[in-house]
Amino acid sequence: MKISPQQQQQPATTPTARDRLSYQVALSSYQSRHGLDKVAWVTWLLVLGMSLLWMLTAYKAALAAGAHSWQTILTHVWTNAISIQPADDASLTQVLIDYGAKYNPAIVQQHEYWRFLTPMFLHANLLHLGLNMLNLLMLGIFLERLLGHTRYLFLYIITGIISVLASFYFAPEEVSLGASGAIFGLVGVFSIFVITHRRAFPFGGLFSILYLIVIIGINLGVGFMITNVDNYAHFGGLISGCLLGLWFSPLYRSSSPYTVVDRHSLAKRWPLALLTILGTLILTVISLYLIGTKV
């Protein structure tokens, strides 16, 4: 990627100068793209797809609870929009299981391994969907511009799967679903990007890092205070996001006076991306074996 003379005002020979150059280029790289490539379309498609899927499962749950007219269906959806009513919990849970929620008996006994992927696209009610989609839009649009479409989707899917694996192993009795594990994965990736480029921030990035710690702590703390929140999935997503961020978060270095190269791009790190996929499969097999010995 070519850079302007303003971005390369002095040779990036010191760690601080290299970090500042990499940070500036990473934030502005999307501006050189054209057309649809400049739009965070993966994030918008994820939000649209998950919203439509919630509408479908909410409709099916209303039918399962005995609603038949559009008025009774909408009443059922609105009644459960913020808090699932005890009378509707069983029918909603069964619908979500049917559509792919993490449900250990189905995974272990019926070998429905696709359930390691599908839970990150499902949501229980309107509040659950709204909070996750708001977080995804706020962070996802920025990160998709930073990472590029393919790398962004790759990290979202892998950290999402690992978050489901964490829930599968550490919370085997819980029915789990939601995009929050993958969103925590994106938070982990961004945290590593900030830490890697800490010299580009005032005071060595101290306040930025402390801000991330506070935000992560608050979100995990809320999970401990509110029932039915799967913090194991959150931890799994966050830890895997931090690890993958070390390998795949943008890191630009000069290859000539006015040219920089992202050393962590998928084009350069595709063997590591393949190893990541293989490692995720191995982790899945190990989890299945360990859980299987307990059944």
Q: How far is CA 202 from CA 135, 191, 195, 207, 245, in A?
A: 26, 16, 12, 8, 22
Catalytic residue among 91, 163, 180, 249: 180
Active site residue 123: no
Active site residue 256: no
Catalytic residue among 76, 128, 234, 264: 234
CA distance 60 to 65: 9
Residues 6+ apart with CB under 8 A from 49: 121
Residues 6+ apart with CB under 8 A from 266: 148, 150, 151, 154, 248, 273
- Kindly report the backbone phi and psi dihedral angles of residue 261, in degrees, each rounded to the nearest multiple of 5, phi listed first: -130, 135
CA distance 53 to 31: 32
Contact in structure between 236 and 181 (CB atoms under 8 Å)? yes
- Kindly report the backbone phi and psi dihedral angles of residue 5, in degrees, each rounded to the nearest multiple of 5, phi listed first: -60, -30
Return the active site residues.
Answer: 180, 234
